[in-house]
Amino acid sequence: MGKKIVVALGGNAILTDDPTALGQQKVLKETAEKLVALVKQGHELVISHGNGPQVGNLLNQQMNADSEINPALPLDSCVAMTQGSIGFWLQNAMNEALKEENIDKQTASIITQCLVDKDDPAFMNPTKPVGPFLTEEEAKTVAEKDGSVYIEDAGRGWRKVVASPKPLEIIEYPIVENLVKNGFITISAGGGGIPVIKTEEGIKGIEAVIDKDFAAAKLAELVKADYLIILTGVDYVFINYGKENQKKLEDVTLTELKEYINQNQFAAGSMLPKVEAVVNFLENSPNAKAVITSLDNIANLKDELTGTVVKNNNYLENAI
């Protein structure tokens, strides 16, 4: 029986060494060919993706072209633009891969908003670097102009930092649910979704960056996914990484994973957000499973879940 699967693509599934549109389309073609293996097995597929390099490049272009008659667009609009461009490329790549396999399905991209709390503590301590490197003088000039925050980044220059609040809701998730129910593959919550807050005037974009894995976990929770699969550059998560007693994690309970987090086993900004996203998903989805693995390993799902597979302690094996 097919499962409802939310797949969160890592950066290497979109961009490698060639940042051009053609270069990224080539990588996404290869990615789509691997994802179609899940569709062939009868699974319902919801795809999420990152946009870090793409939105950074776009911010560079915006800043370089900024003028009174052509002002730079805000970060929320840049997230929306990169959601659209990556969604366009990936949607076409998926549809072509489906056609090659004679699968009668279509893919739809959803420009997705992610609701956050305007009082999230992250807004008091912006830490997520975005955009170009500037000199200290340039950074001070821009900060005085628009109130943005810049920090010195490892001797490479000064870089803007923004908040990374936790997602409360994926606003368009009912649309995703409905499309999946009607047999469509969906691409949504790209780049973590467009960060928005509720105001008296309605929904409003805000300058922030939502972690893509946390957004994918929230989406998986809301659409009641059976599996959340977070794709990264390795087949397994490791503890004691790089040491003589290094160990790969295969079947892990939620309690065990939390204990490894408490032991500081996972690097911040690397594997830690992925395992924290898995924890968030499983705490709200008791009869689901989560997997962290590589894109190359994903076709093995046809036999059994492989990679680092996490489930609740009281998971019912016959629940899904």
What's the rounded Cα separation, in Å, for the pair 170 and 209? 14
57 pLDDT band (50/70/90 cuts)? Answer: confident
Q: Quote the pLDDT of residue 62.
A: 85
Q: Quote the pLDDT of residue 316.
A: 53
Q: At what angle do helices 173-181 and 212-222 cross, to 10 degrees?
A: 60
Q: Quote the pLDDT of residue 318.
A: 43
Structural Rg of the chain based on CA atoms: 20
Instruction: Tell me the percentage of the chain whose pLDDT exceeds 90.
Output: 64
- Burial environment of residue 278 by CB neighbours within 10 A (0 to 12, 13 to 18, 19 or more): buried
The DSSP secondary structure of 38-76, one letter per residue, reads HHHTT-EEEEEE--HHHHHHHHHHHHHH--SSSPPPPHH
Is the model's pLDDT at 200 over the cut of 70?
yes
Q: Quote the pLDDT of residue 319.
A: 45
What's the rounded Cα separation, in Å, for the pair 240 and 178? 43
- CB distance 216 to 6 below 8 Å: yes
- CB distance 47 to 187 below 8 Å: yes
| pLDDT single digits (tens) 279-301 | 999 999 999 999 999 998 887 76
- CB distance 185 to 107 below 8 Å: yes
What's the rounded Cα separation, in Å, for the pair 19 and 61? 13
Q: Residues with catalytic annotation?
A: 11-12, 128, 212, 274
Residue 68 makes CB contacts below 8 A (sequence gap 6+) with: none
The candidate with the shortest Cα–Cα distance to 188, out of 6, 5, 3, is 6
What's the predicted TM-score (pTM) here?
Answer: 0.91
Tally DSSP H helices, then E strands, for the chain.
8, 17
SS3 content of the chain, % helix, strand, coil (to 5): 40, 25, 35
Q: Which of 42-56, 137-151, 163-177 has the highest mean pLDDT?
A: 163-177
- CB distance 38 to 31 below 8 Å: no
The domains found in the chain, sorted by start residue, are 4-115+172-311 (3.40.1160.10)
Residue 36: C-alpha distances to residues 27, 97, 103, 106, 286 (Å): 15, 7, 9, 12, 27
The C-alpha torsion from 215 through 219 and 225 to 228, rounded to 10°, is -10
Q: Of all helices (H) and strands (E), which one includes residue 175?
A: helix 173-181
Is the model's pLDDT at 264 over the cut of 60?
yes
The encoded tokens of residue 319 equal: 């629940």
Neighbour-count burial for 239-277, b at 16+ CB within 10 Å, e otherwise: beeeeeeeeebeebebeebeebeeeebbeeeebebbbbb
The encoded tokens of residue 181 equal: 């129910």
| pLDDT single digits (tens) 126-167 | 988 887 788 888 888 888 887 888 888 777 888 888 999 999
Compute the average pLDDT of residues 196-207: 94
